[in-house]
Amino acid sequence: MPGSRSSRTTVSEAAVPVVAPMNVIVDAVQCMDQVEVVDVANEVPARSICSGGNDDNHRKAAQQWENTITGVDQRFNSFSEFREALHKYSIAHGFAYKYKKNDSHRVTVKCKSQGCPWRVYASKLSTTQLICIKKMHCNHTCEGSVVKAGYRATRGWVGSIIKEKLKDSPNYKPKDIADDIKREYGIQLNYSQAWRAKEIAREQLQGSYKEAYTQLPLFCEKIKETNPGSFATFTTKEDSSFHRLFVAFHASISGFQLGCRPLIFLDRTPLNSKYQGELLAAISVDGNDGIFPVAFAVVDTETEDNWHWFLQELKLATSTSEQITFVADFQNGLKKSLSDVFEKCYHSYCLRHLAEKLNKDLKGQFSHEARRFMVNDFYAAAYAPKLETFERSIENIKGISPEAYDWVIQSEPEHWANAFFNGARYNLLSSNFGQQFYSWVSEAHELPITQMIDALRGKMMETIYTRQVESNQWMTKLTPSKEELLQKERLVAHSLQVLFSQGSTFEVRGESVDIVDIDNWDCSCKGWQLTGVPCCHAIAVFECVGRSPYDYCSRYFTVENYRLTYAESIHPVPNVDKPPVQGESTALVMVIPPPTKRPPGRPKMKQVESIDIIKRQLQCSKCKGLGHNRKTCKLS
């Protein structure tokens, strides 16, 4: 049998890593059981190695790897280098092997096929650290049966092959990995083998998930050192396993205190990293209606205790005397925690969570169309500025279902309806306002914990810088979005009639009659109070009395205030790959990964859908019942 059977394997030259230079004896190979030199003329010529219809790329790849093992006296820097070369050699020549001896002093390898004499023996070269092939029998007598992927492609080997591509394409899918390995190397991988190889490659690129937890104490110290005034605290459980981490950069705290409205959106998003977890976030809003992350935390699970701890850390970090309005869910202990930690805050129930609960509670009782109408009326009731508009909307719900009407009345409208809510939400009623921030999290959530936090820091740093540069070019008094809103209201104001009266109260007539009190910044339409920008009725009065509407806009919407929001910058944090120096206080703190690990299989990617998208239920055309069709109807 010829010494080469590389026609059984295909390898793409473009995807093959360059093998480190080695002392190679190409012309002759000394064999274990033979003193004579094998006649190279008996070898299969390079141009005929890949017969059987393989393309040029496969032929070139086989040529490159077929000589990674060349024979006696070939030297390597380490046993791992030798094993890597052996693995590539076996793939190029299409055979499986097994170790007879494999330790730190010597390695003996033989062909896996029973009775085949091929074998190689390597050990340390005397008085050096080099590894040398001492004996080798190079001929195969086996038939070369089909080799399973598990023998020819270990996870570590595939990981090393795909590492560079994964670096350029972080979303490299396991299916694509398997297809590429099959096409370029002729090796069949199943999905889970490709997925595990991707995990190994990612760990080689990004570092170990486990090591990231041990680096956490030093990482927190580095955040506070490079960004003075920042908060970076963590807690562990009794067994030293990670429990939770809170981060608030000084630039975020300062921006919220100096320029943002006292309005915070609380929400969470799952982390599909190796150790799972949840990310809790507090997002505010700047003067141009852009997101402004104030603080975030990584916790093991979403619990009442973790929310309570997060809010305590948030209160300590922000330390503001202003009465804050929170837009958040009312479940998972948030309602109680907010009232306990922020005694005088306003809690606005997230409209999205409420609508989802309403839809869920009504499911199975009403048709798709009926539920759609009720959800739309619920939204209309929430946004209604006046009591009469609110009542009209919920009466529409009552006309469809008295039970749904009772549900709405019992859901505490004073916490979500514009007609009753006392806090300032600026017509932002859902806690998922910070979707841009959560998209950053989704891009980085599979990274080790320290790298994920640093990736979010980088996004926030870039956003602050970009908005600093943009705002320096603005020439208006208000931010662009608020200037546009004011100009729209001004256009409508031209068609209104103003009737003067004594004092600061005026009557404004148009499609309706509204009362404006300019001293108290109040209009009966409630638009001025809800948005912070004078409504068309107020602007009509200002034009009659010779006042500027800019003087009656919320201070949070001025360009000057916007620049205060982004006056401070977030600074880079150096790498913490090296362990802390012995003697540092952080070295005394030991953090190990949490016990929760990612379950097997592909993570479920459940997208948050709009409540307006309600799946249509089956309706039987015979009995008109829901949940089945005519064919499965029990009356048939």
Give residue limits of the domains in the chain. Answer: 63-137, 155-206, 233-459, 478-552
368-383 and 387-400 helices, crossing angle to 10°: 170
Backbone angles phi, psi at 241, to 5 degrees: -75, 150
Q: How far apart are alpha carbons 265 and 282 in whole angstroms? A: 6
Mean pLDDT of the chain: 80
Q: Taking 80 as the threshold, does the pLDDT of residue 459 lie above it?
A: yes
Q: Taking 80 as the threshold, does the pLDDT of residue 400 lie above it?
A: yes
Strand duo 513-517 + 97-102: pairing: unpaired
| Cα-to-chain-centroid distance, residue 255 | 25
CATH (one of 2.60.40, 3.90.550, 2.20.25, 1.10.286) for 63-137: 2.20.25
pLDDT band at 529 (very low <50, low <70, confident <90, very high): very high
pLDDT at position 102, please? 87
Query: Tokens 């390079």 map to which residue?
Result: 46
Is the Cβ–Cβ distance between 518 and 552 less than 8 Å?
yes
Residues in the chain: 636
Q: Taking 80 as the threshold, does the pLDDT of residue 92 lie above it?
A: no
Q: Taking 70 as the threshold, does the pLDDT of residue 61 lie above it?
A: no
- C-alpha closest to that of 209 among 451, 444, 459: 451
Average pLDDT over residues 477-504: 91
Q: Taking 60 as the threshold, does the pLDDT of residue 568 lie above it?
A: yes
Q: Taking 50 as the threshold, does the pLDDT of residue 146 lie above it?
A: no
Q: Taking 80 as the threshold, does the pLDDT of residue 458 lie above it?
A: yes
Q: What is the pLDDT of residues 62-72, one digit of tens each?
A: 567 778 888 89
pLDDT at position 184, please? 73
pTM equals 0.71
